[in-house]
Structure formats: structure tokens, C-alpha cells
Structure 1
């Protein structure tokens, strides 16, 4: 079943989680511009924001993300702080398989200048709720590098369970890496 995604929006006590829109350009830029230097191996490098314009944002981000959602391939939600509307990161849900599986993959990124405030846990818990209630997944997994302790702690704090280690599972850093699989099933 393909979900109706255009109006999906969810709120927690402190956060708003919704699809990015054209008017988010300045907030989106500010979130990336104000990132601190990389804090560890899995904290991506500061993005080069030179050359980004509202038009490029619309074409390269908004339009492409909408196409992915329209095809039920991936849903990338911006995470915004309610108190000041700042863009603090994203949560994404990708379809692994539908049919009798209804199986999705969870990814998450909070800009490092907002770490250690509980935003990641709050956003991930709400993303899992969206996955089950709005996107109709039965199972959602997170694939986490075995040495990514912050991500492991986040998945566990959001209620996901460790299932297994998949050996040589994802090609990154110019090699096949092992990943831990955390999961949650719909209740």
C-alpha cells in the first residue's frame, strides 16, 4: 500500500518533523553552515555551501526528495526545533521491500551543533511512529557500523532491538563493512 505523504507532519514536545519545502532554504542553509568541525568518523564533514541558491535547493533537494517519496522509495523528513524553527537535522525512511514484508530502513542525522540535547532520540522515536502509522511499514531496521557507538546508543534509546551482525554488508570507506542490525516491528 502506497501511503499519502504530501501532508505528513508530526510534532513532539520540542520538534516538528515534516517533508522539506521550498521556504525552508534559509533554515536548511543555516543548519549546514553552522555545523561544528567533524566530531568523529561518522560525523560527516562540513558541507560546502558555496553555490547553493533557492533554485538549486528546489531542484536538487526538494524536487528529488519529492520524486523519491512519490515512488515510495524514500521519505526524507526535516527535523525542526519548535522554539525557533531551526533546521536541526533529518530522519529518513527508505523502502526495502513492500508486498508481504512492508519493510523499511531508518537513517538519521542531527547537525552536530545540536547534539547532547536529546533531539536525536526524540526525532527517531517520532520517525518510527511515522513509519508504522503513516507509511505502513511493519518492520523498520537501522544498519549501524559496529564501532558507531553514538548511533548504537541512539537506536537502543529509541526502543530498537539488536538483531544480528551482518558481515561485509555495506560498501563504504573503500571496503565492505560489517553492520549491526537494529529493528523494531509494528505493534
Structure 2
């Protein structure tokens, strides 16, 4: 069953953003984003060098979603319709009701609160629609802004995974962060209390 039990690719809305399926129309913009060394610095990919690589990535991500193995949304500004990044569940472990999130934004949109909106939407969808028990994020130790954001949103830093991932021709350490469904529900019930 494609798209996590839904008949169409799910669209998520936040105050300023629409999270929607990526398409071949996004190739040029995603090439611009994914070829930027600042954007890919903490991603597990090297900066792209051709537009065809961006199209291949879009096709791969949509194919993973159809197989319920992962799901990646384009982050679109509601005001202008401009694509400014992507986000989603990089891997999903259905047997253990667990998913790992990932995200990136075009540099011009950093430090404007967009990623906070994005992660709130991912958590809501993951815990309330997909019924995950745990949502994780792995972060390189040098990526302080991402770690601070996750902690602000209720994630717990669990520890350092030494030499955990091979990316860009080297083994890298990653911090593991997680939030559980019951923590998310408790946090959100407190946020809505008068």
C-alpha cells in the first residue's frame, strides 16, 4: 500500500510552509540546493555536480516512499510557491515503529524558524498518523545548530555513535537524538493547556 496507508502522497501544512511530494519540476532548484557545499556539509552526500543527479535523487526518494521504506517532502513557501529544501523520514523500521528524520534548507532561509515548523509537522505526522513509537535523528558533532534545535523541540541526546557512518570517503561520528511518542504527546498536551 503506497504512502503509508494513504492513497495519495500526504501533504503537510504549517503556518508558512507546505510539505509536498518532489517531482521532476524540482530538479533545477534541488540541484542548486544540493550542490551548495554549505547545505551538504552535514549531509551524507557530497555536493551534486549535475542536474541529472538531482533527478535521480528525486526518483529514488519517490520510489522509497511508494515502498513505505522512507518518505521525503519538498519544503515549499506558501507565500511564493518556492522550494527551499527537503525533509522527511530517511528510514522507517515498521517492525519497531521507529523512523529517522533528516532535513536541509537553502542557505538564504537559515535561522528564520522554518526548520522548527518542519520538524513539528514531521513529529505530528509520524506520531499521530504513522503511530511511530520513536523518532530519531543523527547529527554530526560539529553541527551545533541542528543539535540545539532538536533539544529545543524535545529530543534527547542519547550518546555518541563512534565511526557510525561512512560518508564522503571517511567514517564519521554521529550523536543520536530521539523523542518518544509518549514524550511528544505529553509535551503537546502541556503546550495547549491554558
The gaps in structure 2 that reach 5 residues or longer are 183-194
Runs of 4+ in 1 over 4 A off after TM superposition: 34-37, 43-46, 49-52
Q: Tell whether 2:114 aligns with 1:125.
A: no
1:60-139 → structure 2 map (5 Å cutoff): 60-99=56-95, 101-139=96-134
The structure, 1 or 2, with the larger RCO (C-alpha pairs under 8 Å, 6+ apart) is 1
Question: Contact 1:9–1:19 (CA<8 Å) still a contact in 2?
Answer: yes
Structure 1 or 2: larger helix share? 2
Q: Report if the CA contact (8 A) 1:139-1:186 is conserved.
A: yes
Partner of 2:176: 181
Change (3 A) 1:61 1:172: closer
* Superposed CA RMSD: 2.8
C-alpha contact 1:33 1:49 (8 A) present in aligned 2: no
Paired residue total: 178
Residues of 1 paired with 2:34 and 2:90: CA distance? 25
Cα offset, 1:77, TM superposition: 0.7
In 1, Cα distance between the equivalents of 2:52 and 2:62? 22
User: What TM-score do you get using the length of structure 1 for normalisation?
Assistant: 0.80
Cα distance between partner residues in 1 of 2:59 and 2:52: 18
- CA distance, structure 1, for counterparts of residue 69 and residue 34 of structure 2: 28
Separation (CA, whole Å) in 1 of partners of 2:69 and 2:163:
24
Q: Tell me how far 1:184 sits from its aligned partner.
A: 0.9
- Between stretches 4-13 and 102-111, larger displacement belongs to 4-13
- Following the alignment from structure 1 to structure 2, what is the Cα–Cα distance between the partners of residues 175 and 32? 24
Output the TM-score relative to the length of structure 2: 0.77
Q: Given that residues 36 and 112 in structure 1 are in contact (C-alpha distance below 8 angstroms), is that contact kept between their aligned partners in structure 2? A: no
Please say if 1:20 is aligned against 2:6.
no
